[in-house]
């Protein structure tokens, strides 16, 4: 289990994200973290990396830029940022907690696999540092974001989670509903939901010939089954999902082993 000191003011917190070091959500998260402790650091991608997933830069160097006191940017992915942040920016003492976000838009269901926000939390967890990913649901065209909902509720939820602790090799994925802070109806521990991802591709033609494509609109609102992250957020509850890094489907192991029993190369 990851365990934490009773007083959060003893914590060292590293913040990252996938929307970039200058994104409004990371400013929100910095204020949230400062309610827990004064020892707050930022190491995030220099530019937006939405949809980067758990990608690691291998073919190019990673440039670390110091932007200010306890504030760094990496020319790379969210995974790169956490890796460099833990091993370089904070090499004198590892963080006690990594917070990733606050992402503009939810990261629920299958979106977790695409999410750079979740990937940053995943990388920290792999490196042995407990982590929480935080995302704020928005309206369909993202014209307005209820940042105040995440900002007002995140400190209390995080404190509760730190008091309880959670298993190693697991990160916490929090999604805040698209509503005013006072309209939040509660907090629910949920499972990862499922929703149709669609296959939307927008085709265009280049003026000099040839076709190119944009990935079109992805579903942002969908009703999930009871107990899922999707259902909780649709009902104005804060969703808290423990995500295990072990992807093994244990139920499939026995029938597959039976099917492969006695196999010999012909």
Residue that has been written with the tokens 């606050």 in this structure: 102
**Structural domain includes residue 125:** yes
**Structural domain includes residue 48:** yes
> What is residue 154's predicted lDDT score, i.e. its pLDDT?
98
Close Cβ partners of 208 (under 8 Å, ≥ 6 residues apart): none
Q: What are phi and psi of 71, to 5 degrees?
A: -135, 115
CATH code at 163?
Answer: 3.40.1210.10
Domain that holds residue 85: 8-195+222-260
Backbone Cα Rg of the chain: 20
Close Cβ partners of 35 (under 8 Å, ≥ 6 residues apart): 155
CA-wise closest residue to 170 among 246, 83, 57: 246
**Structural domain includes residue 214:** no
Query: Any idea what DSSP says for residue 115?
Result: -
Query: Any idea what DSSP says for residue 183?
Result: G
Q: Say if residues 242 and 229 touch (Cβ distance below 8 Å).
A: no
**Structural domain includes residue 213:** no
> What is residue 199's predicted lDDT score, i.e. its pLDDT?
64
> What is residue 31's predicted lDDT score, i.e. its pLDDT?
98
| CA atoms of 174 and 206, how far apart (whole Å) | 41
**Structural domain includes residue 215:** no
**Structural domain includes residue 85:** yes
Sign of CA dihedral 120, 124, 126, 132: negative
* Tens-level pLDDT at each residue, the chain (266 residues): 998 888 888 899 999 999 999 999 999 999 999 999 999 999 999 999 998 999 999 999 999 999 999 999 999 999 999 999 999 999 999 999 999 999 999 999 999 999 999 999 999 999 999 999 999 999 766 679 999 999 999 999 999 999 999 999 999 999 999 999 999 999 999 999 997 666 677 888 888 888 887 776 666 556 789 999 999 999 999 999 999 999 999 999 999 999 999 898 87
How does DSSP assign 26-70, residue by residue? HHHHHHHHHTT-S-EEEEEESS--TT--S----SS---EEEEETT
Between the CA of residue 215 and those of 61, 195, 199, 219, what are the distances in Å? 28, 17, 8, 12
> What is residue 124's predicted lDDT score, i.e. its pLDDT?
98
**Structural domain includes residue 70:** yes
As to burial, measured by CB atoms within 10 angstroms (0-12 exposed, 13-18 middle, 19+ buried), residue 120 is: buried
Q: Say if residues 74 and 63 touch (Cβ distance below 8 Å).
A: yes
Cis peptide before 102 (omega within 30 of 0): yes
Q: Say if residues 107 and 117 touch (Cβ distance below 8 Å).
A: yes
**Structural domain includes residue 249:** yes
Overall number of domains in the chain: 1
Tokens read off for 235: 């009902």
Q: At what angle do helices 24-34 and 147-164 cross, to 10 degrees?
A: 40
């Amino acid at each position: 289990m990851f365990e934490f000191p009773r007083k959060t003011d003893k914590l060292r917190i590293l913040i990252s994200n996938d929307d970039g070091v200058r994104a409004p959500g990371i400013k929100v998260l910095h204020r949230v973290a400062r309610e827990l402790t004064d020892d707050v650091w930022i190491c995030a991608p220099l530019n937006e990396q939405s949809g980067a997933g758990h990608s690691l830069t291998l073919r190019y160097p990673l440039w670390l830029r110091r932007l200010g006191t306890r504030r760094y940017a990496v020319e790379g992915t969210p995974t790169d940022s956490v890796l460099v942040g833990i091993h370089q920016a904070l090499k004198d003492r590892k963080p006690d907690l990594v917070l990733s976000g606050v992402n503009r838009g939810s990261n629920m269901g299958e979106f977790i696999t695409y999410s750079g926000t979740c990937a940053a939390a995943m990388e920290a967890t792999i490196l042995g540092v407990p982590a929480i990913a935080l995302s704020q649901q928005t309206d369909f065209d993202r014209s307005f974001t209820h940042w105040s909902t995440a900002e007002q509720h995140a400190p209390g939820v995080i404190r509760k989670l730190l008091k309880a602790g959670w298993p190693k090799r697991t990160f916490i994925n929090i999604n805040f509903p698209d509503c005013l802070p006072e309209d939040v109806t509660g907090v629910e521990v949920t499972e990862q939901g499922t929703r149709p991802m669609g296959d939307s591709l927008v085709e265009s033609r280049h003026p000099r010939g040839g076709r190119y494509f944009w990935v079109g609109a992805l579903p942002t609102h969908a009703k999930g089954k009871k107990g899922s992250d999707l259902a909780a957020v649709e009902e104005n509850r804060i969703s808290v999902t423990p995500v295990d890094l072990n992807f093994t489907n244990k139920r499939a192991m026995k029938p597959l082993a039976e099917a492969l029993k006695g196999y010999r190369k012909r």
